[in-house]
Structure 1
Amino acid sequence: MNIKGKVKWLVLGAVVLAAAVGGYSYYSSQQEAAQRAANVELVTVSRQSLKSTVSATGTIRPVDSVEVSSKITARIKSVLVKENDVVKAGQTVAILDGKDYEATKDQASYKVANTRSKYNRAEYLYSIGAKSKEELEDAEYDYDTAESSLSKTESDLAETVITAPMDGIVVGEPKTAGTMAVQGNSNPTVIMTIADLSRKQILAKVDETDIGSVRVGQKATFTVDTYTGRTFTATVSKISQTDVTNSWNTNSSNATSSSSSASVIYYYVVLDVDDPDNLLLPAMTARVEIVTDEKENTLAVPISALKTDSTGSYVMVQLEGAGKDGTSQEKRYVTTGIYSDEYVEILDGLSDGDRLAISYKSKSGSSSGKGGMGGPPM
């Protein structure tokens, strides 16, 4: 092959190679643009209703309940009610064995009769000068002491009859006949528990990061596992002024033992429950959403559209005439309001109808948008 032929083939090869490289570059750029477009979503700023909530978990309990115990130590003779029975205040619910107290009362009655007789005799003898004033006073003291002892034994005997201190329902199984009921201030025997189940409340624990948003009177909704798909309502009635373990109180043994193990601080919040059908039972777990703020017809954007940097919160606004690949966007700082689960209120910086670009990370892990994804500013 002559030189001219070789040159001709070399030129042709160069042209083919250049065309191939150009075609690949064009294909690659198209693929990159398509990838960028796939990783960008456009949303429109609009007006809607927002609701900011605080989540908490609590336990259903009756507003009023009482543990019925004995003021004396005696064996239970009979229990006159059972679990779920409705009782009225003053109704006899149990009787204790009072044989020992009856015997003590008989002895006290005899003592009163005896000392009364001695006192009357001493009073007569004193009146005729046969007894001194001191002897009369001693006889009077013995008589008064005997009467006090009789009064005490009569009171103890009366305590063998146990009555309901309030209207309500017997919650749980009462103690059975034959059980020894022990008196005491620290650990008495609980014969039964009576509760008014017509009024219930939730004792919920709220995280310290959220407790500042909770106020008395705020409305709440909650669910329980046993009624799937049903939502109940409640109202905040009390907010504890100390955390659940009193960790701030260094004089409290409970605080000392728990402060080292508890990494999160919780506060008790009490909510009054609406339960007209009387469906809820004590000790049920309630998953509560307390409504801390609500806004009607306010500008809002998805939280995923909001980003943050050292200056503040911003969004990427899609400019007029820009392609979906996000090549023509404007970084615009905004002032935020309340947050719902998915949206955030925009107080300043955007207008109704503005379009925002939300960029997502590609499969390679790099983000196709400018700046990091932002959540609620702390």
Structure 2
Amino acid sequence: MNMQHKPLPAEIEAALGLDRSSRFAKWAKRLILLSLVITAISGTLWWYNAASSTTAAYTYQTTAAARKTLVVTVQATGNIQPIAEVDVSSEMSGVVRTVNVKNNSQVKKGDVLAELDSVRLRAQLARVEASLAAAEARLADARATLNERQIALNRAEALSKKGISSVQDLDSAQAALARAEAGVLAAEADIEVAKAEVSMQETDITKTRILSPVDGIVLKRSVEPGQTVASSLQAPVLFTIAEDLTHMQLEANIDEADIGVVKHGQTASFTVDAYPGRDFPATIETIEFSPNVTDNVVTYKAVLIVSNDELLLRPGMTATAEIVTQELDDVLVVPNAALRYQPPKKDNGSSFSVTSIFMPRPPRPTRQTSPIPTGERSIWILENGSPVELKVKTGATDGKLTQVLSGDLVAGMEVVTSSRQAKE
């Protein structure tokens, strides 16, 4: 059975959206809109690439390499102290009767700084002196007895020779003489004991006068009249005396990283907060081997001798020292900023395109860089307005300037220290 397809009425096609002219118009609008978007994107990317490809202008700051004297230093901090500081104590216990000095008093060796009450000790001295007198009297009596016994023995011996006295009488006389001799020795020993006691009491009385052991200045007085001093367990410190404040020492802490270049006899200069802008000279006297460890930081104490003729420096002042470890004359130097400088990097392969959005570039291979040998650095000089690299070998540095040991650099050449993009 043959069936013929009859076309659908126009109303039905319109209702079903099958109108051909309408469909074409919609696709045309979409194509035009897509073309406009692509054109806008392409124009924007072209403008960006054009702007990026323009070589940026830079201004460069330069400094001339020069031949100078390079002074290499090590920095350390410490405190000013007297070279000799003596603590004066009391060997005797008692009540302080008088104090003759105060802080900052100038004293000479042997000056009386203070006195303790000595009434009790003088009474004890009188007693032992009386004991000494009694012992001397006993010695005189013993000597008299000895003389008497010697006479009696002589008489007994004479009578014995004549047969008048018996042997027993002679023996008794000899024994009595021996006892008299022993009595004299005992009395003499008693006198020595009494004399020793007198000497001890006199010494104790002398110790009640506290004397200065050195010439110097009283830094600290820790006692007042009427105060009780007890020295039975530990002698209390009553005065602290600095022997000579015209010569002092700086006890500086040297970091373990710097101790290898610090030597005996090196010169130094230091500053204190009390006199800003003024440098004081010093010389290293000793460097201790014993380490000081604080919060896992290891330092070593160096003692520097300081002249203080003006008496400006005081014990305990905090000082910052710079120790000269190396002084190089007439060497080629450049600023450290020149060694740190790196020129602006060129923008290679950073442009965009439509294809780069959909097809990204493959990753760049890792760049192999050869390490710079120890002591070899790069500096940059200007040629035709652009930085050109020079390889140099460097030496000592003072923190601001660095010595150039070898390379194509000569004095007077301008080295680049910084750059910035010029404003359009």
Deviation at 1:140, TM superposition (A): 2.4
- How far residue 313 of structure 1 moved from its aligned partner, in angstroms, is 2.7
Between Structure 1 and Structure 2, which shows a larger proportion of helix residues?
2
Question: Residue deviations 1:84-137, cap 9 Å, x none?
Answer: 222222222211100111011111101111112212222332344342544433
Question: How far did residue 176 of structure 1 move?
Answer: 0.4
The equivalent position to 1:30 in structure 2, one of 37, 41, 54, is 54
Cα distance, 1:333–1:108 mapped onto 2, change above 3 Å: same
Q: 1:275 aligns with which of 295, 298, 308?
A: 308
Which of 193, 199, 202 is matched with 1:154 structurally? 202
**Pairing 1:218-367 to 2, within 5 Å after superposition:** 218-244=266-292, 262-306=295-339, 309=371, 311-318=373-380, 321=383, 323-324=385-386, 326=387, 328-330=388-390, 332-334=391-393, 336-353=394-411, 354-357=413-416
Match of 1:81 among 101, 110, 120: 101
- Structure 2 counterpart of 1:30, which letter? T
Q: Distance in 2 between matches of 1:320 and 1:82?
A: 70
Deviation of the 1:319 alpha carbon: 6.4
Counterpart in the other structure of 2:264: 216
Give the match's secondary structure for 1:172: strand
8 A Cα contact 2:382 2:415, kept in partner: no
Matched residue, 2:92: 72
Could you tell me how far apart the structure 1 residues matched to 2:287 and 2:47 are?
A: 70
TM-score by length of 2: 0.69
Whole-Å separation in 1 of the counterparts to 2:380 and 2:270: 40
Identity of aligned residues (%): 31
Task: Tell me the alpha carbon deviations over residues 335-372 of structure 1, each in whole angstroms, 9 at most, x when there is no partner.
Answer: x332202111122234324554557899xxxxxxxxxx
Are the aligned partners of 2:392 and 2:409 in contact in 1 as well (CA < 8 Å)? no
Aligned counterpart in structure 2 of residue 191 of structure 1, from 221, 238, 241: 238
Report SS of the residue matched to 1:217: coil
Larger Rg: 2
Secondary structure of 1:112's counterpart equals helix
SS at the partner of 2:297? coil
- 1:242-277 Cα offsets, whole Å, 9 max, x none, are 224xxxxxxxxxxxxxx6x64121111111213332
> How far 1:181 moved relative to its partner?
2.6
Summarize the Cα distance change of 1:111–1:29 in structure 2 as closer, same or farther, 3 Å threshold.
Answer: farther
Matched residue pairs, number?
329
| Equivalent pair of 1:64/1:199 in contact (CA under 8 Å) | no
Q: Take 1:343 and 1:319, find their aligned partners in 2: how far apart are those partners?
A: 17
**Structure 2: tracts of 5 or more residues without a match:** 1-34, 150-175, 341-369
Kindly indicate whether the alpha-carbon contact (under 8 Å) linking 2:64 and 2:415 is maintained by their aligned counterparts in 1.
Answer: yes
CA distance in 1, matches of 2:50, 2:79: 64
Q: Distance in 2 between matches of 1:122 and 1:147?
A: 18
Contact kept in structure 1, 2:79 and 2:252, CA below 8 Å: yes
Q: 1:170 to 1:19 in 2, by over 3 A?
A: same
Alpha-carbon separation, structure 2, partners of 1:178 and 1:266:
45
CA distance in 2, matches of 1:97, 1:285: 41
Structure 1 residues 123-162: aligned runs within 5 Å:
123-129=143-149, 130=176, 131-162=179-210
Confirm or deny: 8 A CA contact 1:68 1:191 kept in the other structure. yes
2:381–2:416: 8 Å Cα contact kept in structure 1? Answer: no
Describe the SS at the equivalent of 1:26: helix
Residues of 1 paired with 2:320 and 2:277: CA distance?
13
Q: CA RMSD in A?
A: 3.3
